[in-house]
Structure formats: structure tokens, C-alpha cells
Structure 1
Amino acid sequence: MNVNLTDAPPGWLPINRHPMLVARQLPRAGWISHDLPHGDISPPHQHERGHLVYAASGILSVTTRRGRWICPANRAAWTPARVVHHHQAYGRTDMRIVFIAPSLARALPNRPAVLAVSALARESLLALTGDRPYRPATRTRLRHLLVEEVSTSSEQPLHLPEPEDDRLRALACLLRDNPADTAPLATLGHTVGASERTLSRLFRSELGMSFRQWRTQLRLHHALVLLSSGHSVTSTAHACGWSNPSTFIHAFTSAIGQTPGRYQHDLRHGAEGRPEDGRPAVKPP
């Protein structure tokens, strides 16, 4: 969803007066449905209300200054109010957004997160972002049900923290360009000009995880994108640095809660709920 200031609906304001950064400020809007092409990246923006983002088909990532969250099938990304972020679509993506009133948002994390979506939460979310003209009281009940369902679900370990230290940023750039790189931290440290001990300490102190954990998260993010693009499980495993597909399947299942094959199946059969005409819509509750 690429939007410039001339196309922006009323209430969208620039962030820090930069002409390319557009903030969505829609305090009275209840939901957004938008059909995004593969690779679409929104400009950085923020909302007056927190919101849940769900991909009825395709896959979405949400990026803030704290890192990147990826939102695969049966997951919803929660972004609190006034957190500057941007979205990216992988594959043709049916993006659904439901804005949450502050009174309900208190039940959700005070930071960005990816939350599991039950079948009941999914149907509530699709109903709230569909074309059926529910009465306001019904929409209110659906919102309460949606928040109750996702607030009691497990938070998913799908956050890839963004490093700030220049040496970590250089290392992260290397591995993003080649997730299959199996070089040990000592070798990568030589490339970026830091010792293995220094980098290990920085990963723990700055990102709150080990280098191995961070690299696994990076590879899983890349794997989700490849699988959504139709790559086979075996080719995805190799492209992401797993020499043994069985090891990849185990790591993927542990993090995502389903096998890579099942994940692909759900992507192929998860397009129900898309508006019949496929056109974007922004509507009040």
C-alpha cells in the first residue's frame, strides 16, 4: 500500500515533516481491508489507536525501530498506539486491520507482538473487516470477543530484534544477504572487525539473545517468505542454512506450531474472507 501525501485520506499526517513518511491517524476508523501486491512496502507511519493486523492470505511483516515481526498464517501482529512502523507484503496479501479502543488495548501487550489466532478470533476478525453491515452493537461485541481471544493466546517467538551497534548491524547485513551462510561467529567477527567475545556480549546485552538464537530467527523469517512464495520444503531448508531438511522441519515446527508442509497448505487454502471484488476498503465501525 504505497501512499503519498496527495493520495492520503483525511487525517493522514507526515511524520517529522518528511514528505515521504506518512502517518495514518484514523481515530474514528474501525477497520481497514487492503489487497496488497507482492513486495508492497508502506511508508513508516503511526496510528492514534493500537491495531491488530492479520493476513487473510499471503504474509506480512511489521517493522519498528526495535526490530521486525513476521506474521504468518493464523497469527496476528499487534502494534500499540503511536508506534512508528511499516508493513511489507510477501505474495499477494489480503491485509486486514482492526483498530482497538484504549479501554480494550489494556488487555494486550504494551509493545509490538505476534499473537496466535484461534478459529474464533479469525472469524471475528474477518467479520469485522468484511462487507456485511453489522449493527454497531454487534461490531462492539465482535471486537470484545476478538481481543479476549488474542489476549489469552500465546505470544509467538517471531520477533527479530534490530541491532544498533555498528558491528552488529554489519553482521546482520551480511546474514540477511545470505541466510545460508554457516560461518561461525569468530569468522564473521573477523569480517566486521570485532572479536567473537565482543559480539557474543553485544548480542546478549543489546538484543537479549545469543547469536545462534538470532540467526535462527533470521532464517525462520526467510523461510516463511520462501514457503509463501511456493518454494519446496527441501529447497527452503538449504536456502536458509539447514543442510538437513529434518532439522529445519523440527526448528520450524517448534517456532511456528506446524510443519512447513502444513503451513504451505494453509496458505494455499486460507484465502476465504477476501472481498469478492478484491478492492481496498476503509470503513468506519
Structure 2
Amino acid sequence: MPSAVSLPSPVTSVASLTPHLYAPDAVRPLRAKEHFLSADTFVELHQHPWPQLTFSTRGVIRLSTQDGSYIVPPSRAVWVPANMPHSIMLIEDAELRTVYLHAWLGPPWEKCEVLEISPLLRALMLALDTTPDGLPPTDPHAPQRERMIAPLLVDELERATQIRIDVPLPTDKRLRQLCETLLRNPADRATLAERAAAIGASERTVARLFRDQLGMSWQQWRQQAVMAHALPLLARGMAVSQVAAASGYATDSAFCAMFKAATGRSPTSFQHRKRSAALA
């Protein structure tokens, strides 16, 4: 008997976390805020007329736009251009940090970018006051410090290494529902036929939609989604067997074969490389 598509964990939906209370301007060109959020919290779709840099000091998040989904572990940040609608899903408990930049600051990037966070960039972002408008800053010299930090922070942004760890999303509503269901629960081993039935479509129709909407097959898209899910877990030192199970693979060997075909390296070698870099 074929397995049914498993139900995802309950989600707590919250509004846009009051970006209007941290609006950057010429006096305060950088504004920062922090929120402690639980796993499976969904920050609803929103936008604002200034760009932002989002990261977490602990915990993995997934930021989504109309065009794709970006997995962001603590070693990375995601750049979101001004006026781009976006939402955030907390994959695990996280301390979410956001830096808003005045519209004339920052690189002229027109799409989201995932960036490696250098020690200096992290220190600059964490040095910013996180008090909202309406309350006196914790540091009375915060506006002056923000103006001094701004040019160095932007220079670090432009120097940062950009990482391809995004998963494209379709515009077709049924196919997007299928994709988002897998992103929320990568361990679900339902077949494409079972997933297609769950959205009221045939397997052939869904396979065609993947080719037409995303320019890739279902298998190729699922591999990209699994890689985006697995890489942060490996980078944090999770055992390969646990990552394989969390990614929907019945055996470690099948997961390792997929990973090596996609990256040219084994999951274990990736872990060692990250650990060595951390100890250097």
C-alpha cells in the first residue's frame, strides 16, 4: 500500500515583526532588531522600502520570496532588496537578527543573495543597537555609531562570498503547494504520484509543470531542495546518518551517493572541512 503524504508540524504564524519601528533614515542609516522565535514559527509575507540583511546567531531559518527559498544557517546571512515581498520560516529555535539599511546604502543587488558572514561583518551587525522607535536607545551614542559603522559594513557586504543555496519556486499554485510541503518536511518519502494526488493533479501533469515552470525535473528539484536542507545540518556537525534520515533517505549510502554526485565530495569530508575552518 502506498504511503500517504505525512502531515507537517503545526505552524505558528506571526505578523511582520514591526519593521516600521526600525525604519532607517539619513540620521540613522542602519537599524537593527532581534527576535527570539521558536521552531515552526512563520513570519508572514511582507515588504518595506529599504533593503535588509537577515541572519540568526543560532538556529537555521528559511527565507522565501516569490522566486525561491533560501536556507540560512548561522554562518550565513541573506540579503533582501528593497520592496521585495518575503516571508520567514523558523526551521529550529533561532535568535533572528535583521539589519535594515537606508535605501541609498548597500550593494545594488536586485535579487536575494546568500552570503558568508566574516567575523568582522558579524561583529559590526551585533554592535548595532536594537531598541525600537519610541524608546531611548540602550546606547545614547547609537545614531553616531550607526553612521560610523555603515560604510565599513557595506564594504564587508560587497567583499562577502556569495553562496548558491537557494531552491527555485514555481508560480503555479498547485505545484507551489507541493514544493512548499516538501520544503517543510524533507523527510517525507512520498512518491511524486502520491504528492500529485494530494494536490488534485496527475503525475504526468506535475512532471510537465516542473519542466515548464522551473526548467528541471522533479528529481532534480528535489535533490536541490534536499541539498539546501542537508548542507546547514552537516555544517553544524550533525551525524551523516541523522542528516540522511532528516532528508528522507532510507539508507546512509543512498544519501551519500546523492551528495557526492551533487558536490563531488562526501558528506563527511564536508563536515571535516567546516570543522577545520572553524579551528583555523
TM over 0.5, shorter chain: yes
User: Between Structure 1 and Structure 2, how many residues are aligned?
Assistant: 247
Structure 1 unaligned spans of 5+: 13-23, 268-285
Distance change in 2, residues 1:159/1:135 (3 Å): same
Give the aligned partner of residue 119 of structure 2.
119
Give the aligned partner of residue 93 of structure 2.
92
Distance change in 2, residues 1:44/1:172 (3 Å): closer
Greater alpha carbon shift after TM alignment, 52-61 vs 226-235: 226-235
The structure 1 residue matched to 2:202, chosen from 170, 193, 200, is: 193
Q: Is the 1:31–1:96 Cα contact (8 Å) retained in structure 2?
A: yes
CA RMSD of aligned residues (A): 4.1
CA distance in 1, matches of 2:244, 2:32: 37
CA distance in 1, matches of 2:42, 2:181: 22
CA distance in 1, matches of 2:145, 2:120: 15
Q: CA deviation at 1:231?
A: 5.7
CA distance in 1, matches of 2:217, 2:152: 37
CA distance in 1, matches of 2:44, 2:195: 33
Q: Secondary structure at the match of 1:259?
A: helix
TM-score between both structures, scaled by the size of structure 2: 0.68
Q: Secondary structure at the match of 1:57?
A: coil
Distance change in 2, residues 1:189/1:41 (3 Å): closer
Distance change in 2, residues 1:104/1:36 (3 Å): same
Q: Is the 1:25–1:47 Cα contact (8 Å) retained in structure 2?
A: no
Give the aligned partner of residue 220 of structure 1.
227
Structure 2 unaligned spans of 5+: 1-11, 131-137
Q: Is the 2:54–2:97 Cα contact (8 Å) retained in structure 1?
A: yes
CA distance in 2, matches of 1:96, 1:66: 23
Give the aligned partner of residue 165 of structure 2.
158
TM-score between both structures, scaled by the size of structure 1: 0.67
Q: What fraction of aligned residue pairs are identical, expressed as a percent?
A: 28
Q: Is the 1:96–1:129 Cα contact (8 Å) retained in structure 2?
A: no
Q: CA deviation at 1:170?
A: 6.1
Q: CA deviation at 1:259?
A: 2.9
CA distance in 1, matches of 2:38, 2:245: 27
CA distance in 2, matches of 1:153, 1:58: 21
- The one-letter code matched in structure 2 to 1:216 is Q
Give the aligned partner of residue 68 of structure 1.
69
Give the aligned partner of residue 46 of structure 1.
47
